[in-house]
Amino acid sequence: DAKTTQPPSMDCAEGRAANLPCNHSTISGNEYVYWYRQIHSQGPQYIIHGLKNNETNEMASLIITEDRKSSTLILPHATLRDTAVYYCIVRVNFGNEKLTFGTGTRLTIIP
């Protein structure tokens, strides 16, 4: 799996959009970008994933650059419950392919 680079920490004001960047410059053509988050003392929660097109669901939006070397996860209206560690992971979309977790970004939502 390609490696990813994320800032170790970020703050965001409650109610504002939180934009979390991720660099994956060595991503392969068949690797997807996945985002998970882990709230303290819980298992990771799936957020969103994409291959090359931008994606949106009820939780977030995923913006992938045209060259696929970086992406941004957007939480449109951050709440205090969005405080968590966010992990950006690239992996091929096969059932027996593992997820390799880096150190992620610790996002703190400020009241």
Q: Interface mask (CB under 8 A) for other proteins, residues 41-70, using x and -?
A: xxxxxx--x---------------------
Shortest gap between Cβ of 42 and other proteins (angstroms)? 6
| Tokens of residue 42, six digits | 């819980």
Shortest gap between Cβ of 29 and other proteins (angstroms)? 16
DSSP state of 8: S
Q: Judged by CB, which is closer to other proteins: 13, or 103?
A: 103
Q: Judged by CB, which is closer to other proteins: 46, or 77?
A: 46
CA distances from residue 100 to 25, 26, 57, 66, 87 in whole angstroms, order as listed: 16, 15, 23, 24, 10
9: contact with other proteins by CB under 8 A: no
Which residue's entry shows tokens 């991503």? 27
99: contact with other proteins by CB under 8 A: yes
Q: What is the largest CA-CA distance in the chain?
A: 41
Strand partners, 23: 5, 70
Residues that bind other proteins in the complex, under the rule CB under 8 A: 34, 36, 38, 41-46, 49, 87, 93-96, 98-104
